[in-house]
Amino acid sequence: DVKVTQSSRYLVKRTGEKVFLECVQDMDHENMFWYRQDPGLGLRLIYFSYDVKMKEKGDIPEGYSVSREKKERFSLILESASTNQTSMYLCASSLFNEQFFGPGTRLTVL
Amino acid sequence: KNEVEQSPQNLTAQEGEFITINCSYSVGISALHWLQQHPGGGIVSLFMLSSGKKKHGRLIATINIQEKHSSLHITASHPRDSAVYICAVVGGNQFYFGTGTSLTVIP
């Protein structure tokens, strides 16, 4: 069974804090993705990575950065959290045409 | 511009009803997925389709490549089917997602 894990299920941070969200997959997938999910907007791609140390911007990269130092780990960084970054964050890894999702992190920025 | 459109956005049904959720897409695809997300939960894949029809228990998914349309059917719906159902397509190296259909099945 493919397993994608995320470091926290729920997180509360203050405006201006630096926030790290971590994602780990155990199936040696090359492709990893970070999405945010908001009501009525569906899943929106923030960043993705096709290989170690490689990253590509998605549809909404502003205010975010990522790090992929190891194949199994893909981190999302909010350099200075803002209230409009309150959302559900989902990590996924993929093989060919199929994506496997983590459980999600519900981030609240106060 | 939405590459994937789902309807309806919200759906309430009585237990036992037959349910249909529709998905239309505008890009060339290599695969289409139906995903399920329970409240507060992660996303799980129900089906991956590239043609025809697939059945798993009470769930049936169909796809018409020429019409760029797919449907997810739930027979004999049950309250535990209450979830958000998301249509996703794979075009080139990209995944495109619909905004989801929120289904509530009332006992």
Q: Residue B31 and residue A97: Cβ atoms within 8 Å?
A: yes
C-beta separation of A90 from B37 below 8 A: no
C-beta separation of B63 from B18 below 8 A: no
The 10 Å Cβ neighbour count of residue A18 is 10
How many contacts (CB atoms, under 8 Å) link A and B?
39
DSSP-derived letter for residue B52 is E
Report pLDDT digits (tens) over A1-35: 669 999 999 999 999 999 999 999 999 999 999 99
**Which residues have a Cβ under 8 Å from the Cβ of A96 and sit 6 or more positions away?**
none
Predicted local distance difference test score (pLDDT) of residue B93: 74
Buried b (16+ CB within 10 A) or exposed e, A67-101: bbeebbebbbebeebeeebbbbbbbbbbeeebbbb
Q: Residue A42 and residue B86: Cβ atoms within 8 Å?
A: yes
Which of A25, A29, A37, A43 best probes binding to B when mutated, by most B CB atoms within 10 angstroms? A43
**CA dist., res. B37 & res. B86, Å (int):** 8
Confidence of residue B41 (pLDDT cuts 50, 70, 90): confident
Token pair of B79 as six digits: 């309250």
With 70 as the cut, is the pLDDT of residue B78 above it? yes
**CA dist., res. A55 & res. A66, Å (int):** 7
Q: What is the mean pLDDT of chain A?
A: 94
**CA dist., res. A88 & res. A107, Å (int):** 6
Predicted local distance difference test score (pLDDT) of residue B1: 63
Q: Confirm or reject contact between B107 and chain A (CB < 8 A).
A: no
Predicted local distance difference test score (pLDDT) of residue A20: 97
The 10 Å Cβ neighbour count of residue B52 is 10
